[in-house]
Structure 1
Amino acid sequence: MERRNAWKVYDQTELEKLDKINETYKNCLDDGKTERECIALAVKKAEAAGYKNLKELQKEHVKLKAGDKVYAVCMDKSIALFIIGQEPLENGMNILGAHIDSPRIDVKQNPLYENEELAYLDTHYYGGIKKYQWVTLPLAIHGVIAKKDGTIVPVSIGDEEEDPVFVITDLLVHLASKQLEKKGSVVVEGEKLDLLIGSRPLEQDPSLDQEEKEAVRANVMELLKKYYDMEEEDFLSTELEIVPAGKARDCGLDRSMVLAYGQDDRVCAFTSLFAILDTPQVTRTGCCILVDKEEIGSVGATGMHSRFFENVVAELVAMTDGESELKVRRALQNSRMLSSDVSAAYDPMYADVFEKRSSAFFGKGLVFNKFTGSRGKSGSNDANAEYLAKIRGVMDDADVSYQFAELGKVDAGGGGTIAYIMANYGMEVIDSGVAVLSMHAPWEVTSKADVYEAYKGYVAFLENM
């Protein structure tokens, strides 16, 4: 079934809106390369749009009413934003849910070592990556140092023009005959993804007879002490993420695409955030939830499997209708959700793993996946036909370009999202998002038209479902 190419129907006004959304989106990608950075950015934008911190309102015993806008944050890595609707909360919500974690490489807790006068940080990769894609790239370090006295020191090195960058080295091709015979999954092994961070020894005091052992490592610690007041033991309580260095860029001579790190799933997260911030009022309570840990199973206190979202909904019920466990259950069961996660864009260079009739294409708008999972729909939500019909009507009425797709050929592989977790409450859920080329690579590609259509579709969902 052929879907329209959105580029062919835009007038000048629409193109100007498209450009504005995409410029804002690229700026957000640059400012939000980690979960903590995404949450800080979301809070800043939410407060500028009139949203209030739910914790502060609780202290003041505020009773919420239609039109009120609130947000709640979990451990600086997840956020839920709500605009209170005219209908009672127990009638359900329209929920946009996305994740803000992306595949990357993490620094271990005892990482710093020296080998043959080169200093390295020991690492552990996070999420599904092709390890060979991460070597010889300019890399940056983002994160925090948490000290015993409670001080939190933010770290961001490698993304400003004057910053140094870091690298994971690879074997030169002249000596790589055996390496090149290996499977792609082991061409570069996980324990060889250590980050090269220094080669200059600490300057020695000429008055001392004994030379400093591991002087390069010592010099790195001197610099960390100088710039971050950091002791080596402080590595034990750090969260340092290694990500590609560089800003989001226009891609293509026609500037029709975005090339950037972390578009899975921040392309859906930021467009969902834009949508709720640009929605002035709603009939049913609107919600945007941005969560952590999806790439490793949605586990932990900041993942979708936690009770954070359910607890916040219980607080909202208490602050609108009064405490009621039954109304909390009704609010969750009667809700409708777009599990906003990316889909695989059809790539003609690798056409053999796609089923073309059921693929997502660049420029054809917001992608709906009735089911995800792998092979026999394992781990999938598999949305109801009645819900799909309702969504089709809303999107058509709002003139949103959209398409329905699968991730790839039935036996080629697969993937999952947070959809099945929220469906456990009995609510209607479907996966929707933006098609991505080179998904999970250090640099991913999206269509600007699809970014814009996702934003339009999310606004229509909040207002009209």
Structure 2
Amino acid sequence: MLSQNDYTTLLLDFLRSSPTAFHAASTAAALLRDKGFVQLDEQESWNRLPVGKYFVLRNDSSLLGFTWHSGQPSSGFKMIGAHTDSPVLKVKPNPLRKEQNCLQLGVEIYGGALLRPWFDRELSLAGRIAWQEADGRLCSTLLDFQRPVGIIPSLAIHLHREANKQQEINNQTDMVPLIGLIENGSNDFQQILREQLRHQQPEAQPAGFIDHELFFYDAMPPSLTGLSKEFIVSARLDNLVSCFAAVQALLTADTDENCLIILNDHEEVGSTSAVGAQGPFLRDILERLLPDTENRQTALRSSFFISADNAHAVHPNYAAKHDPQHLPHLGKGPVLKFNANQRYATNAASAARFRQLCAQAEVPVQDFVSRSDLACGSTIGPLTAAGIGIDTVDIGIPSLAMHSIRETAACIDCWHLYRVLLCFF
């Protein structure tokens, strides 16, 4: 098992290397590959897969990894799920705008982002691009500018005296990053992408169009904050903290059981896609591993799924936003998430099982339920439980400023999550 200091250092590296869902999946795949996991190709047959360690990438943004020890139905699976995406600003297909001698890029808001913290921050660009080579081949790669290239300046207080009071943000007109001056910049966004591609991948020879899925992200790296460096502050803690804990649990578990992690994309926008939790990714893989329907159903009844996604820590300035009997504190361990309307999949049996795991791992555990007059979010837990009929619990580390461009969590909670997931495997 990793020490807390080693784990925190590796987590910071993972966050720094994962500015988008594509990069998160790629970084996770590299970690698995380095430890002997073999990548499977979904276009090939997996008939009678031998005992071993494997992973699958789909759409470059979702990953499923597993240890395969037995195809016997009674073995079942121990599964952990998380999601690779976070609320962010996605660049539009034809984004270049020219206003008042400034070059800007139009964006869409991906997911339920907390928008005000995006202003006056240095932003970089990353994502995936696809292009046609001179010989007609279609190619794609991940792209990351790895330096500040944009900013969304606030309107000065002198021009808007009510700015510190409640203020509506218009997604179309207010959230438009500035990337340069007209006389200094290219008038062709395709050319900007070609230049960045040549810088990153000199052998590429795009002959025509370049399509892109690019996102602005906070250029400031993750950091440790607090008098004793007890807080981790970063973009995308929701939900890369859970992704990393799942990967590390799979890598370091000493087990002869079937253990599986699935890191889905598109959770922040409803999970309805070929790689989201409401899509067929997990079901497809399980059907290939256990093609006999009765055997597969028997195995699923012997299986358990932990849906790991950050929870709301009680905010010291806004404690009244929480139910007074359910106040998850930073530094006090992972949180069991409950909801009567099945926005979370936790029930009495799955909660008891997770509490038992925490006791075995010597990790504290907390409870969360929303105030009855406030709606809560949801996770991949209920979607996975409904999709394959598996017993499921929803848990996560407590965090502050969820869906902001910078989120805050306690380092020890990140380590606690890893310890209990490792105990599970």
Give the residue type in structure 2 aligned to 1:310: R
Question: Does the alignment pair 1:173 with 2:173?
Answer: no
The aligned counterpart of 1:258 is 232
The aligned counterpart of 2:280 is 307
Q: How far did 1:79 drift?
A: 0.8
The aligned counterpart of 1:207 is none
Q: How far did 1:180 drift?
A: 5.4
Unaligned runs of 5+ in 1: 1-13, 203-215, 318-322
Cα separation, 1, equivalents of 2:238 and 2:38: 28
The aligned counterpart of 1:277 is 251
The aligned counterpart of 1:206 is none
Instruction: Tell me the secondary structure at the aligned position of residue 415 of structure 1.
Output: coil
Cα separation, 2, equivalents of 1:227 and 1:324: 48
Q: How many residues align?
A: 414
Task: Report if aligned partners of 2:19, 2:126 keep a CA contact under 8 Å in 1.
Answer: yes
Give the residue type in structure 1 aligned to 2:120: T
The aligned counterpart of 2:109 is 125
Pair 143,234 (structure 1): closer, same or farther in 2 beyond 3 Å: farther
How does the TM-score come out when normalised to structure 2?
0.90
The aligned counterpart of 1:442 is 405
Instruction: Tell me the secondary structure at the aligned position of residue 299 of structure 1.
Output: coil
Cα separation, 2, equivalents of 1:114 and 1:386: 58
Give the residue type in structure 2 aligned to 1:415: G
Question: Does the alignment pair 1:414 with 2:402?
Answer: no
Q: How far did 1:449 drift?
A: 0.7
Task: Report if aligned partners of 1:131, 1:188 keep a CA contact under 8 Å in 2.
Answer: no
Q: How far did 1:368 drift?
A: 1.4
Task: Report if aligned partners of 1:198, 1:220 keep a CA contact under 8 Å in 2.
Answer: no
1:381-460 correspondence runs (5 A): 381-406=344-369, 408-424=370-386, 425-460=388-423
Q: How far did 1:53 drift?
A: 1.7
The aligned counterpart of 1:29 is 15
Give the residue type in structure 1 aligned to 2:140: I
Cα separation, 2, equivalents of 1:449 and 1:133: 26
Percent identical pairs in the alignment equals 24
Task: Report if aligned partners of 1:81, 1:287 keep a CA contact under 8 Å in 2.
Answer: yes
Equivalent of residue 179 in structure 2, options 185, 197, 207: 197
Give the residue type in structure 1 aligned to 2:379: T
Cα separation, 1, equivalents of 2:46 and 2:171: 54
Instruction: Tell me the secondary structure at the aligned position of residue 271 of structure 2.
Output: coil
Question: Does the alignment pair 1:228 with 2:197?
Answer: yes
Q: How far did 1:63 drift?
A: 3.3
Pair 357,50 (structure 1): closer, same or farther in 2 beyond 3 Å: same
Task: Report if aligned partners of 1:123, 1:191 keep a CA contact under 8 Å in 2.
Answer: no
The aligned counterpart of 1:380 is 343
Deviations 1:429-452 (A, max 9, x none): 111111111111100011111001
The aligned counterpart of 1:3 is none
Q: How far did 1:388 drift?
A: 2.2
Give the residue type in structure 1 aligned to 2:401: S
Task: Report if aligned partners of 1:221, 1:231 keep a CA contact under 8 Å in 2.
Answer: no
Q: How far did 1:109 drift?
A: 0.5
Pair 165,387 (structure 1): closer, same or farther in 2 beyond 3 Å: same
Give the residue type in structure 1 aligned to 2:173: E
How does the TM-score come out when normalised to structure 1?
0.83
Pair 245,459 (structure 1): closer, same or farther in 2 beyond 3 Å: same
The aligned counterpart of 2:305 is 337
Deviations 1:101-141 (A, max 9, x none): 00100000111121122111110011111222211111110
The aligned counterpart of 2:242 is 268
The aligned counterpart of 2:202 is none
1:155-174 correspondence runs (5 A): 155-157=143-145, 159=146, 163-174=147-158
Task: Report if aligned partners of 2:343, 2:376 keep a CA contact under 8 Å in 1.
Answer: no
Instruction: Tell me the secondary structure at the aligned position of residue 351 of structure 2.
Output: helix
Task: Report if aligned partners of 1:244, 1:261 keep a CA contact under 8 Å in 2.
Answer: yes
Q: How far did 1:327 drift?
A: 2.0
Give the residue type in structure 2 aligned to 1:430: V
Cα separation, 1, equivalents of 2:255 and 2:367: 29
Task: Report if aligned partners of 1:91, 1:330 keep a CA contact under 8 Å in 2.
Answer: no
1:208-223 correspondence runs (5 A): 216-218=185-187, 223=192
Cα separation, 1, equivalents of 2:362 and 2:163: 52
Instruction: Tell me the secondary structure at the aligned position of residue 151 of structure 1.
Output: strand
Cα separation, 2, equivalents of 1:222 and 1:48: 36
Pair 225,92 (structure 1): closer, same or farther in 2 beyond 3 Å: closer
Higher helix share: 1
Question: Does the alignment pair 1:154 with 2:142?
Answer: yes
Pair 232,254 (structure 1): closer, same or farther in 2 beyond 3 Å: farther
Q: How far did 1:233 drift?
A: 7.9
The aligned counterpart of 1:40 is 26
Give the residue type in structure 2 aligned to 1:155: L
* Farther off after superposition, 126-135 or 305-314: 126-135
Cα separation, 2, equivalents of 1:89 and 1:33: 39
Equivalent of residue 289 in structure 2, options 316, 320, 341: 316
Q: How far did 1:194 drift?
A: 1.1
Question: Does the alignment pair 1:241 with 2:210?
Answer: no
Task: Report if aligned partners of 1:419, 1:431 keep a CA contact under 8 Å in 2.
Answer: yes
Pair 166,57 (structure 1): closer, same or farther in 2 beyond 3 Å: closer
Cα separation, 1, equivalents of 2:264 and 2:42: 21
Deviations 1:296-350 (A, max 9, x none): 1111111011111111111112xxxxx3122223333432111001100111111
Task: Report if aligned partners of 1:114, 1:217 keep a CA contact under 8 Å in 2.
Answer: no
Question: Larger C-alpha radius of gyration, 1 or 2?
Answer: 1
Cα separation, 1, equivalents of 2:345 and 2:164: 41
